[in-house]
Amino acid sequence: MAGIGFELKKILKKESLTSLFIAYSYATILSAGGWVASILSILTVGFINILLYDNSSDIIRFQVSVTHLIALSLIVSGIHQLVFTRFIADKIYIKEEKAIIPNLIGITILNTAISFAFIIIYSLFALKGIDSFYFNIFFIMTFLLLSNIWILNIIAVSIKKYKHTIVAYFISYLLVLIFASVFGKYGLDYLIGSFFVSNIFLFLTLLFLVIKSYFFSKFISFEFTKYYKKYFSLVLAGFFFNLGIWSDEFMFWYSSTGNGIIGKINASIVYDLPLFLAYLTIIPGLAIFFIRLEADFAELYDKYFKGVVNGATLYKLLNYKNNMIDLIRIATKEAIIIQGIFNIIFYLTAPKIINFLNLPLLIVPLFYIDMVAIQLQLIVMINLAFLFYLNKRREAAIVTFIMATLNIILPFISINLGPYFYGYGSAVAMLIASIAGLLFLNKSMMRLEYETFMLQ
């Protein structure tokens, strides 16, 4: 994401409230990415539809199936996300931009093939007993679309199409809202159809953005597949990260707390809503951190490496390094404080909010613990971002692995311990993963100059 820092700084230079707001919206959308946007939009769809048509059973079916689509597509395409970003970054670095489009076509084909195989098998199991032909088709097609959108999104950002990407997201989710509001009354097929059509718009816009940016002579290339072996740690990290974010959900969906909403697609009413609400609370912390990382840390990191190459004294280099360490501390602290302030606000207002949303007050305690879990997850994400920045791929993979496995095991234990313990499993998993991340980060920074000079 090099380059966004520069962009953000440019915006922030204007020093007005509007520019601040713009910078933070940028940061939010680019860092929290598609999943926050899409979850936000389906919650809104539900909200509007229930207001307009009071068709709550269809809406719930719609929300649940789309949530599953988002979760599964993120996990399946997670295999490629980081590796392909790396590939694109390298190609841009060595000024071989003409390779971008052919490989984009290549990865779209590969990713579609894998996603198709997955969704067919999944549908045979999950969509049993759903006779609506349209729903089945839309479900499968939307999955393939989302899976490719996540990858396209990464490329669009990699090649610095920030503004356009954000506008594309904004318009397409506005479309979801409009279509769903207009056609919602015709039932589930139309709701998911609306979602599908809006995502086609998003997909094509992103595709157009990327394709028009680069000259290409070849139509298709699979050169990027070399990277899967070379950077296998990134394959694992991409997969486990997305798995780790969603795994506790799946544990709850397919346990005693879950129930079938549509076919075999389950939801866990007790667990889902508070968690989604908590998810939305992560946005401010993430945005703040993103600006710190991309604007400030990137600059310091750059300084350090330029210093190495241009023959700075070791004393100076250690100075740069200490500045980096300070910034990591500041960024982590800031994220915790800002997040903490929001947490306090939510903590105090949670009953009112939940009341306002017509949700049972039973979920308030769970919402509290979810907020803690999400805050810890934010720290994990921050650690990972730094580790990737420092090119500590193996360590990042280990952290994501810890996060994913613990976020399966511990929620499982907490489910068996009973409702009082819901949410604690995920919170402890994130706590352990964040501690592991901090330890790795600490070690990496301690050994930074040794590794720079001795192991280059």
- Contacts with another protein, residue ranges (CB under 8 A): 308-315, 317, 447, 450-451, 453-456
Residue reference for tokens 């791929």: 393
Which residue lies nearer to another protein by CB, 155 or 317?
317
State which residue, 58 or 395, has the beta carbon closest to another protein.
395
Give 9 or 303: the residue with its C-beta nearer to another protein.
Answer: 303
- Please say which residue, 311 or 418, places its beta carbon nearer to another protein: 311
Structure tokens at 114: 């894998």
| 259 beta partners | 267
Least separation in angstroms between residue 139's CB and another protein is 48
Q: How far is the CB of 230 from another protein (least distance, A)?
A: 15
The least distance separating another protein from the CB of residue 444, rounded to whole angstroms, comes to 12
DSSP secondary structure letters along 369-387: HHHHHHHHHHHHHHHHHHH
Query: How far is Cα 337 from Cα 353, in angstroms, rounded to an integer?
Result: 22
**Closest distance between another protein and the C-beta of residue 445, in Å?**
15
Quick one: DSSP state of residue 420? G
Nearer Cβ to another protein (223/451)? 451
Q: How far is the CB of 305 from another protein (least distance, A)?
A: 11
Which C-beta is closer to another protein: that of 270 or that of 387? 387
Q: What whole-number distance in Å separates Cα of residue 13 and Cα of residue 18?
A: 11
Enumerate residues 6+ apart whose C-beta is below 8 A from 258. 252, 266, 267, 268
Q: Smallest gap, in angstroms, from Cβ of residue 435 to another protein?
A: 23
Closest to another protein by CB, 109 or 314: 314
132: three-class secondary structure by DSSP: coil
DSSP state of 214: S
* Sequence-distant (≥ 6) Cβ neighbours of residue 348 within 8 angstroms: none
Residue whose CB is less far from another protein, 147 or 233 = 233
Residue 262: which H helix or E strand, with range? strand 259-262
Whichever of 123 and 452 has its CB closer to another protein, that residue is 452
Minimum distance from CB of 369 to another protein (Å)? 40
Cβ of 232: how many Cβ atoms within 10 Å?
A: 14
DSSP string, 286-305: HHHHHHIIIIIIHHHHHHHH
Nearer to another protein, 236 or 317 (CB): 317
d(CA 291, CA 13): 13
Beta carbon of residue 258, minimum distance to another protein (angstroms, whole number):
46
Closest CB 98 distance from another protein, rounded Å: 26
Is residue 314 within 8 Å of 449, Cβ to Cβ?
Answer: yes
Asked if 437 and 383 count as a contact pair (C-beta separation under 8 A), the reply is yes
CA distance 307 to 270: 54
In whole angstroms, the minimum distance from the beta carbon of 448 to another protein comes to 12
Distance (Å) of CA 44 to CA 63, 134, 215: 10, 23, 40
Q: Is the torsion defined by CA of 203, 204, 209, 215 positive or negative?
A: positive
Closer to another protein by CB, 10 or 447: give it: 447
Cβ 451 to another protein shortest distance, Å: 7
The residues pairing with 266 across neighbouring beta strands, listed in sequence order, are 260
For residue 271, the one-letter residue type is Y
Kindly state the tokens that stand for 81.
């996300």
